[in-house]
Structure 1
């Protein structure tokens, strides 16, 4: 008898978290959809998901209790999806220590604590029918590759999520657990909506100047909202395919980075070109700091 695959998804009330939940449900998988308030995910409950109040910024001990209960109820979690996150818009100078901490607490520390709490149970669960014990996914961004004026704190957190996945991948390989980071470009979700996008409380006039990179990005974020290139439903279908090794990913290994959107492709290619240019220009200086080789 086939083992039913189980998904645990944080921040399932909107965006990719919600779209992934709906895609997994359509495939007959069991989905534990979470949000800070279950009232915000009643539609997922109506679609067949188990809903759970869950805040990634809770103390680790609280998250561990949630993980313990999830495994008591379901026996396993095949896909641990860490979709919680938000963007803090503001220059580095404007961002207060408290605002920076809040960003990291949700985007990075919450992800890390959720993974910490679930991994002991995932390592102990039987292999699925596909020979994989489980998959852990973090959410990066095209911001994982490219720092941007007025979004520096967000880029910092997304780089962390990508580094976390890259480090987890070899750590979890012996246990037949895969790790990857999902790096979407701009997708048409509510992520940049005025009620969702968070701006620093401090605003410095010099950075409001539309002729500065910071001022330009601020206006661009407003203009981009609702006009993003990516289709979140299409993106979620690809994500579920790639994590489960089905559909477009049949017969392929899960890469450590799941990059989505032609805008992400451009950012990555530009990053390669810029980095290669730096190395070419400074190659002798880069090598000059080594000890002499015998």
Structure 2
């Protein structure tokens, strides 16, 4: 039997993060569960039942990089061998018109969904690189909970969708930097569809619940309390979800957690097959992303003459083969 791996997961007090913790503990893996006010908010019965392979660690994803580096060093010593899987899961969302989003709101959602995971990854990379280049460690992974909204943004969710799109682009590029030898660090992003969690809950006060990424259960639970000139459009969006909320959120957090861990376990396994850098989870996500890809292909073909017509005179045109290889997702 192989020794347990150590997972550090952000945003674990509820939702997808808690589902990940529960599943990993059921598989006898080591888990470092993190979040704001984690000791007081994490379910005590889980702590009592898993004293040997569960550690709680205070981590606010909005902290500066120096603080996150200190946390990374502390986390590294909680289990023998350091961390095998860094799982950037914490996230937030809300419904907001582009015009009516304050600078504070924009900064907050981008910090939680993008800048925080980037900073935490930066903090852990020196430790992960040292592990993979100086030992025979395998299956060292950096994972992210992203969203199918990165492909298919809805109206009034521009800031959430764009922050997740940026996160997916970041992790795709990151994978091309750290996966080749000598580093051999795998990167995978899970672009989840609708799933009942508390993703839409606010972060304004520490006493309130920390939102978890990977779902939208709380996102449209109620309309914005403030007045908006976009009431008609917002009402249509909210109405679409509230007519049959479960139809628009078919995802099961426990099943998604099991799927995520299953994919991570395949990384580096002999004969396990190639794991994609970006993986869509959820039937709704699969169908909406498929539609987006097909529509994009249609637009590319219909407007090819215009696109190609902007090249300099005399050039052969098209992308070079080495460039296409560098940007390939396969």
Same fold (TM over 0.5): yes
Flag the 1:59–1:223 CA change in 2: closer, same or farther, 3 A.
farther
CA contact (8 A) 1:144 1:159 kept: yes
CA contact (8 A) 2:131 2:137 kept: no
Aligned match of 1:91: 97
Cα offset, 1:54, TM superposition = 0.9
Aligned match of 1:60: 65
CA contact (8 A) 2:21 2:31 kept: yes
Cα offset, 1:46, TM superposition = 2.8
1:39 pairs with 2:40: yes
CA contact (8 A) 2:132 2:185 kept: no
Aligned match of 2:227: 203
Cα offset, 1:86, TM superposition = 0.8
Flag the 1:181–1:68 CA change in 2: closer, same or farther, 3 A.
same
Over 3 Å off, 4+ runs? 126-131, 192-203, 220-227
Cα offset, 1:47, TM superposition = 3.9
Q: Which has the higher helix share?
A: 1
Tell me the matched-pair count.
Answer: 288
After TM superposition, the structure 1 stretch with the greater mean CA deviation from structure 2, 41-50 or 171-180, is 41-50
TM-score by length of 2: 0.80
Aligned equivalents of 2:243, 2:68: Cα separation in 1: 38
Q: Deviations over 1:240-273 (max 9, x none)?
A: 0001118xx9712221012111100111111111
CA contact (8 A) 2:19 2:254 kept: yes
Cα offset, 1:184, TM superposition = 0.8
Q: Secondary structure at the match of 2:280?
A: strand
1:12 pairs with 2:12: yes
In structure 1, stretches of 5+ residues that fail to align are none
Alignment of 1:135-284 (within 5 A): 135-174=141-180, 175-192=183-200, 197=218, 203-205=227-229, 207-209=230-232, 212=233, 214-223=234-243, 228-245=249-266, 251-284=272-305
TM-score by length of 1: 0.89
CA contact (8 A) 2:57 2:75 kept: no
Cα offset, 1:27, TM superposition = 1.1
Flag the 1:52–1:61 CA change in 2: closer, same or farther, 3 A.
same
Aligned equivalents of 1:221, 1:132: Cα separation in 2: 43
